[in-house]
Amino acid sequence: MSFSIAGKTAIVTGAANGVGLAIGRHFLREGANVVFADMDEAQLEAEMGERAEKDEACRIFAGDLRERLTIKNLLSATVDAFERIDILVNGSRQMVPADPLDAENDAVMDLLQQNLMTALRLSQATAKRMIKQSDPDDEGPAGAIINLSSIAARRTHPELMAYSVSTAALDQMTRSMAVALAPKRIRVNAVAFGSVMSASLKGALKENEDFREEIVDHTPLNRIAGPSEVSDAVQYLASDAASFVTGQIITVDGGRTLIDPVTAPAH
């Protein structure tokens, strides 16, 4: 059984910081070609610009993937650089707290657009490319799509209703696309994670020093995960070791969903 992704080409979105950035860097270390895609051009350039200039296996792409033309341009840039696409990691997402009773707030629609529709459209376009480049006589895998989800899809935090709705929808999209693309030998899975030491969580901890203790108290493994622990799960799903795994939502949360009450911290 091999967890190798060496020589494969991956697109990782939401790759300017946090978990997306960690996954992209992890893939590079494992020998993959990686396109780091994000809307935040300045942050993307700061994190990976110098590496992209020196490393032939690394590219950066800045653009708003909510736009269909941007998706088309991302795929074209990836194929121009590496000739194919083997892995897509949909990591571009937002979490915006909002009052669920505020009729004037469009948080649900906004996050459905960002967290669901962007991943759906990019997955559809990437799957077409994977099908086109695959050998119809080959019984091996034609591609892998991994969506970054959240345990919020199964938790009830009213202030995070929009985020919970969008990630729950993403989980169902994962299952539906897995069945639809199975005949084409493309696997679709997701990693749902809990508290990870991302940029947003670091910011929250700076504002509230007691927040760390609250999170740890609600996590059976008694700590906050590092981004690399999500990267390892994503690599597994991207590799041939998961060749018979599709439509699954792998949870990486230190056991938090086993005990998490409604009053637990939102992160």
Q: Per-residue confidence at 267, pLDDT binned at 50, 70, 90?
A: low
pLDDT in tens, 154-181: 988 899 999 999 999 999 999 999 999 9
Q: Residues 7-28: what's their mean pLDDT?
A: 97
pLDDT in tens, 66-117: 999 999 999 999 999 999 999 999 999 888 888 888 887 899 999 999 999 9
With a CB cutoff of 8 Å and minimum separation 6, the contacts of 19 are 91, 148, 193, 196, 198, 227, 230, 231
pLDDT score, position 183: 96
Q: Are 126 and 145 in contact (CB under 8 A)?
A: yes
* Residue with tokens 């005990």, as numbered in its chain: 259
Indicate whether 263 pLDDT > 70.
no
CA–CA separation, 267 and 150 (whole Å)? 10
Burial of residue 222 (CB within 10 Å: 0-12, 13-18, 19+) is: exposed
Q: pLDDT exceeding 70 applies to what percent of the chain?
A: 97
With a CB cutoff of 8 Å and minimum separation 6, the contacts of 181 are 127, 145, 187, 188
Mean pLDDT lowest for which of 38-42, 129-133, 220-224, 261-265?
A: 261-265
pLDDT in tens, 28-66: 999 999 999 999 999 999 999 999 999 999 999 999 999
Q: Are 218 and 265 in contact (CB under 8 A)?
A: yes
Catalytic residue among 27, 36, 163, 193: 163
Strand order of the β-sheet with 186-193 is 58-62, 33-38, 9-13, 87-90, 143-150, 186-193, 249-252
pLDDT score, position 115: 96
Question: For the structural domain made of 9-253, what CATH number should be given?
Answer: 3.40.50.720
Q: Per-residue confidence at 260, pLDDT binned at 50, 70, 90?
A: low
Q: Are 5 and 82 in contact (CB under 8 A)?
A: no
Cα–Cα distances in Å, from 119 out to 78, 87, 90, 127, 259? Answer: 17, 13, 6, 12, 30
Question: What is the pLDDT of the chain when averaged over all its residues?
Answer: 93
Q: So where are the chain's domains?
A: 9-253
Distance of CA 184 to the CA centre of its chain: 22
**Annotated catalytic residue 163:** yes
Q: Are 184 and 130 in contact (CB under 8 A)?
A: yes
Residue 251 backbone phi and psi in degrees, to 5: -100, 125
Q: Residues 125-133: what's their mean pLDDT?
A: 97
Model pTM score: 0.94
pLDDT in tens, 219-255: 999 999 998 899 999 999 999 999 999 999 999 999 9
pLDDT score, position 264: 57
In residues, how long is the chain? 267
Query: At 157, which amino acid appears?
Result: H
Q: What is the dihedral of CA 57, 63, 64, 68, to 10 degrees?
A: -80
pLDDT score, position 266: 56
pLDDT in tens, 115-124: 999 999 999 9
Tokens read off for 78: 């990836």
